[in-house]
C-alpha cells in the first residue's frame, strides 16, 4: 500500500507523458460518454484532471476537498468516484499514514486517470468524412442532412470541453489547491538546513511538518540570544529531535511531539548561551 504524502511513490503511478496527452484522453472520454454521466460526475472528473498536472494523470486529494470545491456532499463525491471507476477512466489507490500521532490508519486516496480512451475528438471529423466518401451512392439530400447533423453534434460541446480542460502545468490555481500535507521532504524550503531535514525526513516525510519543527528551532534560537550563527548550533537541534523521537517511542511524552521537542531544544540552547557568557567573562578577567 502507498504511504501518505510520499511524492516519490506517487510519481511511479504517472499514467501520461504530458498534460496535453492527459487532456486528449479526458476529452475523448467525455465526447463519447457525456450523455451517460451526471453533471456531478463530469465536474468531479474535470476537477481531478485539473489537479493531475504536477504528475500527469495523478491526483492526490481528500474527498472533503473535492466536495468543498464543487459545493457537493462527500457522499455524492464517493458515489461519483465509484461510477468513474466502473467506467474505467479512473482508478483509486489507498494510502496509509506513516507519520504523526495517528499512524497506520488510512490516509487520503490517490486517483490515477487511465489511458484507455486514446482516440481524440479531433480525429472524429476526419473519420466521418471518410465514411461519407465511401457512401457516395446515397442521395445528395441525405449527405447534406448527415453533414449538418455531424457539425451540430461536434461543434459546441467539443469546443466547450477543450476550453474547460486546457490546463497548464504552471497553473497558479493548481498550486494553491495542492495541500501542504501532500508535499514530501523534497519540497522543504531552502532555509531549512539540509542536515536537519535529512534527520527528520525518515520520521516525518511532510515538508510542512519538517518546516514547522525547524520553526520551533528558530524560536528557541532567538529566545536564547546565542551569539553563534544557527548553523553552528544546528547539531544541538538535531540531537534534541533524536531525544524527542526516543521519548515518543518510550511513551514518555505527555503533551505534543512539537511541544516536547521545543523544550528540549530550548534547554540545549540555554546551556550553549551560558557557555558563551562564561567564556566571555573568563576572557575579560584574564586581560
Beta partners for residue 2, in sequence order: 95
Beta partners for residue 93, in sequence order: 110
In CATH terms, the fold of domain 2-178 is: Arc Repressor Mutant, subunit A (1.10.10)
pLDDT, one tens digit for every residue, the chain (287 residues): 566 556 677 777 788 888 888 888 888 888 888 788 888 888 898 898 888 888 888 888 888 888 888 888 888 888 988 888 888 888 888 877 666 555 555 667 788 888 765 544 444 444 444 444 445 444 444 444 455 444 444 444 445 555 555 544 444 444 444 566 667 888 888 999 999 999 999 888 888 889 999 999 999 999 998 989 999 999 999 999 999 999 999 999 888 899 999 999 999 999 998 888 877 655 544 55
Q: Where are the domains of the chain?
A: 2-178, 185-285
Task: Write down the pLDDT at residue 156.
Answer: 47
Q: What is the pTM of this model?
A: 0.44
Give the largest CA-CA distance in the chain. Answer: 113
Task: Write down the pLDDT at residue 278.
Answer: 78
Task: Write down the pLDDT at residue 115.
Answer: 76
> 4: helix, coil or strand?
coil
Task: Write down the pLDDT at residue 116.
Answer: 67
Residue 16 carries which DSSP code? -
C-alpha cell at 232: 553552528
> 254: helix, coil or strand?
coil
Task: Write down the pLDDT at residue 179.
Answer: 61
Q: CB 21: neighbour CB atoms within 10 A? A: 15
Give the span between the Cα atoms of 239 and 127, in whole angstroms.
68
Give the span between the Cα atoms of 241 and 63, in whole angstroms.
34
Task: Write down the pLDDT at residue 1.
Answer: 57
Contact 114, 88 (CB under 8 A): yes
Task: Write down the pLDDT at residue 127.
Answer: 42
Q: CB 164: neighbour CB atoms within 10 A? A: 16
Amino acid at each position: 500500500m502507498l504511504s501518505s504524502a510520499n511524492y516519490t511513490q506517487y510519481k511511479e503511478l504517472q499514467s501520461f507523458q504530458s498534460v496535453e496527452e492527459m487532456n486528449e484522453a479526458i476529452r475523448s472520454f467525455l465526447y463519447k460518454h457525456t450523455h451517460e454521466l451526471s453533471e456531478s460526475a463530469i465536474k468531479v472528473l474535470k476537477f481531478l484532471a485539473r489537479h493531475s498536472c504536477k504528475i500527469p494523470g495523478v491526483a492526490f486529494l481528500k474527498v472533503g476537498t473535492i466536495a468543498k470545491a464543487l459545493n457537493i456532499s462527500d457522499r455524492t463525491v464517493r458515489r461519483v468516484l465509484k461510477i468513474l471507476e466502473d467506467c474505467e477512466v479512473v482508478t483509486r489507490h489507498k494510502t496509509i499514514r506513516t507519520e504523526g500521532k495517528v499512524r497506520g490508519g488510512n490516509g487520503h486516496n490517490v486517483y490515477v486517470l487511465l489511458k484507455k480512451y486514446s482516440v481524440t475528438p479531433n480525429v472524429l471529423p476526419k473519420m466521418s468524412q471518410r465514411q461519407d466518401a465511401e457512401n457516395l451512392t446515397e442521395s445528395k439530400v441525405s449527405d447534406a442532412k448527415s453533414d449538418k447533423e455531424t457539425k451540430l453534434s461536434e461543434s459546441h460541446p467539443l469546443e466547450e470541453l477543450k476550453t474547460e480542460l486546457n490546463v497548464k502545468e504552471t497553473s497558479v490555481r493548481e498550486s494553491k489547491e495542492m495541500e501542504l500535507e501532500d508535499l514530501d521532504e523534497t519540497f522543504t524550503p531552502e532555509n531549512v538546513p539540509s542536515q536537519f531535514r535529512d534527520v527528520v525526513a525518515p520520521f516525518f516525510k511532510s515538508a510542512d511538518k519538517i518546516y514547522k519543527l525547524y520553526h520551533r528551532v528558530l524560536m528557541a534560537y532567538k529566545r536564547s540570544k546565542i551569539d553563534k550563527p544557527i548553523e553552528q548550533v544546528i547539531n544541538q537541534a538535531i540531537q534534541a529531535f533524536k531525544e524527542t523521537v526516543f521519548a515518543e517511542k518510550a511513551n514518555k511524552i505527555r503533551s505534543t511531539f512539537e511541544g516536547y521537542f521545543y523544550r528540549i531544544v530550548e534547554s540545549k540552547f540555554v546551556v550553549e548561551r551560558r557557555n558563551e557568557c562564561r567564556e566571555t567573562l573568563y576572557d575579560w578577567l584574564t586581560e
